[in-house]
Structure 1
Amino acid sequence: MNVLVIGANGKIGRHLVEKLAMEKGFFVRAMVRKAEQVSELEKLGAKPIIADLTKDFNYAYDEIEAVIFTAGSGGHTPASDTIKIDQDGAIKAINIAKEKGVRRFIIVSSYGADNPENGPESLVHYLKAKQAADEELKRSGLDYTIVRPVGLSDEPATGKVADVSGKPTNSIPRADVANFISEALTEKSSFYKTYTIESGETPIKQFFD
Structure 2
Amino acid sequence: MKTPKVLLIGAHGRTGRLIAQRLHTESMPFRAMLRKSAHKSELAAMGAEIVLGDLTNDFSHAFDDITHVIYAAGSSETDTVHEQRAIDRDAVMRTADSAKRRRVQQLVVISALSAFYPERSGFALRHYSRMKREADEYVAHRGVPYAILRPGPLSDEPEHGAIALAGELTKHKPEVSRADVARIALQCVTCGINNRMIAFVGGDEPIDIVLDSLRLEPAHTIRHAAPTSL
The verdict on a shared fold, with TM-score over 0.5 as the criterion, is yes
- The equivalent position to 1:41 in structure 2, one of 43, 46, 54, is 43
Q: Does 1:176 align with 2:180?
A: yes
**Letter matched to residue 21 of structure 2:** E
Please give the alpha-carbon distance, in whole angstroms, between the structure 1 residues aligned to 2:50 and 2:209. 31
Offset from partner CA, 1:38-95 (integer Å, 9 cap, x none): 0011122322211111112111111100001011112442100100111111101110
- TM-score, normalising length from structure 2? 0.86
Structure 1 outlier segments of 4+, above 6 Å: none
- The equivalent position to 1:193 in structure 2, one of 179, 196, 200, is 196
Is 2:154–2:175's contact at 8 Å kept on the other side of the alignment? yes
Is 1:32–1:38's contact at 8 Å kept on the other side of the alignment? yes
The alignment partner of 2:93 has SS state of helix
The alignment partner of 1:117 has SS state of helix
| RMSD of aligned residue pairs (Cα, Å) | 1.2
Please give the alpha-carbon distance, in whole angstroms, between the structure 1 residues aligned to 2:92 and 2:44. 24
Which stretch has the larger CA shift, 162-171 or 7-16?
162-171
Offset from partner CA, 1:10-61 (integer Å, 9 cap, x none): 0000000110122x21111010000001001112232221111111211111
Aligned length: 207
**Counterpart in the other structure of 2:152:** 150
Considering only CA atoms, is the larger Rg found in Structure 1 or Structure 2? 2
**Letter matched to residue 179 of structure 2:** A
Please give the alpha-carbon distance, in whole angstroms, between the structure 2 residues aligned to 1:68 and 1:138. 15
Please give the alpha-carbon distance, in whole angstroms, between the structure 1 residues aligned to 2:166 and 2:137. 20
**Letter matched to residue 122 of structure 1:** A
With over 3 angstroms needed to count, the CA separation of the structure-2 counterparts of 1:53 and 1:181, relative to structure 1, is same
- The equivalent position to 1:205 in structure 2, one of 204, 208, 211, is 208
Is 1:183–1:204's contact at 8 Å kept on the other side of the alignment? no
**Letter matched to residue 65 of structure 2:** E
Please give the alpha-carbon distance, in whole angstroms, between the structure 2 residues aligned to 1:172 and 1:73. 19
CA deviation after TM superposition for structure 1 residue 126, in Å:
0.3
Please give the alpha-carbon distance, in whole angstroms, between the structure 2 residues aligned to 1:171 and 1:208. 19
Please give the alpha-carbon distance, in whole angstroms, between the structure 2 residues aligned to 1:11 and 1:178. 10
The alignment partner of 2:104 has SS state of coil
Q: Does 1:121 align with 2:117?
A: no
Is 1:157–1:175's contact at 8 Å kept on the other side of the alignment? yes
Q: Does 1:63 align with 2:65?
A: yes
- The equivalent position to 2:21 in structure 1, one of 13, 18, 40, is 18
Percent of residue pairs identical = 35
Give ranges in structure 1 of 5+ residues lacking alignment.
Answer: none
